[in-house]
Amino acid sequence: MPTERSEIAERNLRVLEALLFASSEPLSASQMATYLGEGANVTALLMTLQQRYAPRGVNLVRRADKWAFRTAEDLGFLLRREEQETRPLSRAALETLSIIAYHQPATRAEIEEVRGVATGKGTIDLLMEAGWVRMRGRRRTPGRPVTYGTTDGFLDHFGLESLGDLPGLDELKGSGLLSNRLPPSMQIPLPFEGALRDDEDPLDPDDLDGADEPEEEHE
C-alpha cells in the first residue's frame, strides 16, 4: 500500500504538472515551491516528472533555471508549418543575435567590430521585441555604453538548457553567420547570463527610451 510520504509526493507531482501546463512561460523552482507542501524537494520532484515525460509526445525541459513542457524533439516536424509562417530574421539580425549570444555582455560597438558594419537601433530593437535580447547594464568605460545579453526566452526558443549548449564557434562560422576574423575575446560559454559583471553598472531609469542609438543600417 502507498505510504503517506509517497501520496504526498504524487500530489506534489500533480501540482507541478498542472502549474507547468497552465503557464505560458517557463517557471522556476522557487515559483512552484509556494504551491507545494513544506519541505518538498522541488528539484527532485521536477527530475522525477522529467523522467516520466521523457518517452511522451511532450517533454519537461530545463531552460536556464526554469522549466517548461515542450514538444518532443522527434515530433518537431509537426510544427514545421507554423515555423514557416513566422517571418525569418534578416541576416543583420541573425549576425547580431549570434554575436550577442557568444560575446555577452556586448556593447553595440563590440557587435560592430565583429560584423564590420554599423549596427543600428532597429536590429537590436527587433531582437528585444522578440524577447531574445535584453539590455543588461552599462559598461564602465567612457560614454557608458549599454551592454546586451540573451534572455531565458532565447534559450527556450532555440531549445537550449544553457549557453553551454550553443554550437561551437567553428560551426557557427561554417554556417556563414560570422566572419572568420573574430576578436580573441570571443569565448563560450560565458557565465554572465544573469548578474552584472564587475565592469557593468545597473541601467539608468531612462535607458528604455534608447534615444542615444543611431538609425538602422540598410542591408
Residues 69 and 100 in one domain: no
- What's the pLDDT score for residue 190? 47
CA distances from 36 to 11, 14, 39, 49, 206 (A): 9, 10, 8, 15, 39
pTM exceeds 0.85: no
Instruction: State the Cα–Cα distance between residues 92 and 5, nearest whole angstrom.
Output: 55
pLDDT band at residue 204 using 50, 70 and 90 as cut-offs: confident
Residue 27: strand, helix, or coil: strand
Instruction: Find the domain containing 147 and state its range.
Output: 87-209
Is 109 part of any domain? yes
Residues 6 or more apart whose CB falls under 8 angstroms from that of 198 comprise none
Taking phi over 0 as left and psi of -120 to 50 as alpha, with beta for the rest, 144 belongs to: left
195 near 64, Cβ under 8 Å?
no
Chain segment 55-79, per-residue pLDDT in tens: 998 899 998 889 999 888 777 665 5
Q: What is the CATH number of the domain that holds 43?
A: 1.10.10.10
Residues 108 and 205 in one domain: yes
Is 214 part of any domain? no
Residues 202 and 115 in one domain: yes
pLDDT band at residue 152 using 50, 70 and 90 as cut-offs: confident
Grid coordinates given for 16 = 507541478
